[in-house]
Structure 1
Amino acid sequence: MGHQSYSNSNEASDGKSTDWKYFVTSNIKELITMGQVINYKFSSDCIVEYIRLITDKIGGKGEFARVFGFPRTTVGVWYEGKHKPALDAILRICYVTNHQIKDIFNGYRPDEIKGVNGVFLQNFECSNRRKQFDREYTESRLRIVLKDTKKAPSMREIARNLKCNRKLLYRHFPKLCKAISQKHQLNLQACRKQRIEQGCLSVTEATHKLISQGIYPSRRRVEDILGFQLREKPLQETWRSIIKDQVWLM
């Protein structure tokens, strides 16, 4: 059985809603008395039936996902009975709909859902509820990144900073994302070119230093001076060209 964590406001603004902590404590105590926490699978059919009932009453899986803040795919597998929601998820649904979990386990089928679309629901918050996608804000941030002449982050980094899925960004802003990605690649190429040029200069200096001391500038000796290995081909070619030109001195 999976585990999910949720947070909530302590109390609804009208002062009449059940406190979340009290609700959980009292419901768990009742379940322990019933022995249903240990025998959770015993009531699995009741839970699936309850999920289907609530889903149909509020307008389908998509609406259920929006109202309660669960992923739609998760709601789908619950509705189809392929997986059963964790106990804390059931508690949350009952909390929002103002139903007692022991009644659900006993096969209770509510005729109405008092909590949905009321103050009771409006004051309930969950840590994993998906944030509404702000297209205008996201586009403005992408344009700022594209215009920035000092930094060229990758789309992966941008998506992480925006707390947004990278594929979602590409789907909504394909041209902007491709332009930013191209800018990032060009920046990587420029950085590599600069690093190679600096590396070649360092190889040249280290090699000539050994030659000036009358020491054969073997690759190992040059690497010892530099503090890194000549793994990249341009650095190796620079070293070889100097050895070839200066071999008569040895």
Structure 2
Amino acid sequence: MLASVLETYESWDLRKVAIPSRSRLYRLDPIGIGTPLVESLTGYISRLAEAHCVTPKALISRELVSFIPKTYKTTNLFEMRSLTGALNGTGTMALDLATVLESLTLRSDLRFLTLLSWTDIFPQRRLLRARRAWCPYCYEEWCSSKDKVIYEPLIWFFEAVTLCHWHNQSLYQQCPHCKRELPPLASYSRPGYCPYCLKWLGVTANYPSSDKTPPSKEEIIWQTWVIKTVGELLANTPHLPKPLKREIVAQAFCRYVNQFTEGNTAAFARMLEIPKNKVWMWQMGKVLPELNVILKICFTLQVSVLDFLTQETLKETSSKFPATPQNQVRDSSTKKLEVKFDSDRTQQLLENVLQANEQPLPMTAVAKRLGYPKRVLYRHFPELCRAISAEYVKYMKESRIKRIEHCCEEVKQAVRQVHSEGIYPSEAAISRLLAKPGCFRDKKVRAALRAARREICLEP
């Protein structure tokens, strides 16, 4: 009877359960990967810190620093606040931080929040701006929408991008409340807010209407194209089979020179209004052009930057060089304005510069003041230009002599002072009293030190 009431239960499985790895930091999803509005790495760090209810400074100094190799000046990123824009770029700082964050969040896509995939293509010069820029209308729109997150798109950090194409408004770079420029990453950074006064950066009455003049039609045309082609680069970054190599830039220039001018580099350079030697250097792969330069060239050729770099076969519509593509837009950022050369006026101005009783200027500064390239002035007035240059060289030589004499006298006085205090007047002891310790690189200053020692019988 007792056996009939017993029930049989399923046996337990005593094998160990496979538990997936746990990330040290919250596995926060980045915004917009694979789109033109991909998030920036500095903005992601701010959002990640907010998700952990700490400040970016606490997150970096207490969590990330110990994992970052000391391959640059300091691992305390907030000691170089003005350089944190490099975290979005192509250098060591961006690589180190992206790698550490990927390992701590167990993500493999955070490098796409930077320009690391384009390291061998775009030099760091004039690539990204060192300060934050933002569109207050975008912030306001995201804030009022329940399904959108306030963040900082990477495209806002490009130096070439000065406009929000979606609102046709210039990007702001100064807090409307405390009037300070904002670093890309600061101790109390938070997307949409000032890290100094902690106030909202969206649409507010504190934005002076006179600060930003409405963009012109030409600027809108240029910026629309720039934003489109830069956005195309960012959107395609995750889909590249591997990072592009430096050689493709030289190959691209050779391809377009052969296509448009049958291999004539000089003719191609004239059409682009770029010095021939620059185009030749780009063709040979000796120098990489800045992104701003590539944008201007691609706008002239009416081809996107991505197609310019990766399109091995040119389209049939591109078989002829565009006659005057810059006529579509007149802006200082796309083409310098043609200035009619006034020979008589320029000659008079050069003579005035030569005869003026002011500090002589180098020809580079004179050319900039007159608004003409230096080579144009030398071609029309070689004698006047050489005379101005000679005056400047003479002035610099005389200034150097006076500077050395002043340093020698300063050294003699310092020797007497140090000796009176009972200290041997060594070069190190004297250097601490000089306004410019580097003057000891000059042999005359060192000779003055020895002469001053001889005067007080410290040197034979």
Please give the alpha-carbon distance, in whole angstroms, between the structure 1 residues aligned to 2:293 and 2:351.
40
Residue matched to 1:116: 322
Residue matched to 2:200: none
Residue matched to 2:417: none
Amino acid at match of 1:154: P
Following superposition, the deviation at residue 139 of structure 1 comes to: 1.8
Residue matched to 2:219: 9
**8 Å CA contact retained: 1:77, 1:83:** yes
From 11, 14, 28, the counterpart of 2:233: 28
Residue matched to 1:93: 297
Q: TM-score, normalized by length of structure 1?
A: 0.50
Secondary structure, aligned partner of 1:176: helix
Residue matched to 2:69: none
Residue matched to 1:197: none
1:49 and 2:276 are equivalent in the alignment: no
Please give the alpha-carbon distance, in whole angstroms, between the structure 2 residues aligned to 1:52 and 1:140.
44
* Mean CA deviation greater in 19-28 or 155-164: 155-164
Amino acid at match of 2:284: E
Amino acid at match of 1:54: Y
From 335, 353, 357, the counterpart of 1:151: 357
- Residues 84, 110 of structure 1: alpha-carbon distance in 2 compared, 3 angstrom cutoff: farther
From 66, 75, 79, the counterpart of 2:279: 75
Please give the alpha-carbon distance, in whole angstroms, between the structure 1 residues aligned to 2:371 and 2:281.
26
Q: TM-score, normalized by length of structure 2?
A: 0.31
**8 Å CA contact retained: 2:301, 2:321:** yes
- Kindly report which structure 2 residues correspond to 1:106-145, keeping only aligned pairs within 5 A, or say none: 106-113=311-318, 116-119=322-325, 122-123=328-329, 125-127=331-333, 134=341, 136=343, 137-145=345-353
**8 Å CA contact retained: 1:155, 1:166:** no
* Mean CA deviation greater in 75-84 or 85-94: 85-94
| Larger helix share, 1 or 2 | 1
Please give the alpha-carbon distance, in whole angstroms, between the structure 2 residues aligned to 1:77 and 1:185.
31
- Residues 68, 154 of structure 1: alpha-carbon distance in 2 compared, 3 angstrom cutoff: same
From 354, 366, 370, the counterpart of 1:162: 370
Residue matched to 2:380: 172
**8 Å CA contact retained: 1:48, 1:79:** yes
Please give the alpha-carbon distance, in whole angstroms, between the structure 2 residues aligned to 1:185 and 1:80.
35
Following superposition, the deviation at residue 76 of structure 1 comes to: 0.8
Amino acid at match of 1:116: P
Following superposition, the deviation at residue 180 of structure 1 comes to: 5.5
Residue matched to 1:245: none
Following superposition, the deviation at residue 185 of structure 1 comes to: 10
Please give the alpha-carbon distance, in whole angstroms, between the structure 2 residues aligned to 1:124 and 1:145.
32
Secondary structure, aligned partner of 1:154: coil
Please give the alpha-carbon distance, in whole angstroms, between the structure 2 residues aligned to 1:98 and 1:181.
41
Q: Deviations over 1:108-158 (max 9, x none)?
A: 323343772244654164548667683614223113445x6x635525253
- Residues 177, 70 of structure 1: alpha-carbon distance in 2 compared, 3 angstrom cutoff: closer
- Residues 183, 78 of structure 1: alpha-carbon distance in 2 compared, 3 angstrom cutoff: closer
- Residues 94, 27 of structure 1: alpha-carbon distance in 2 compared, 3 angstrom cutoff: farther
Identical counterparts, % of pairs: 21
Q: Deviations over 1:171-207 (max 9, x none)?
A: 53233345667888999xxxxxxxxxxxxxxxxxxxx
**8 Å CA contact retained: 2:160, 2:226:** no
Secondary structure, aligned partner of 2:303: coil
Secondary structure, aligned partner of 2:221: coil
Gaps of 5+ in 1: 13-17, 188-250
Please give the alpha-carbon distance, in whole angstroms, between the structure 2 residues aligned to 1:120 and 1:164.
20
Amino acid at match of 2:272: F
Answer 1 or 2: higher relative contact order, Cα 8 Å, separation at least 6.
1
Residue matched to 1:218: none
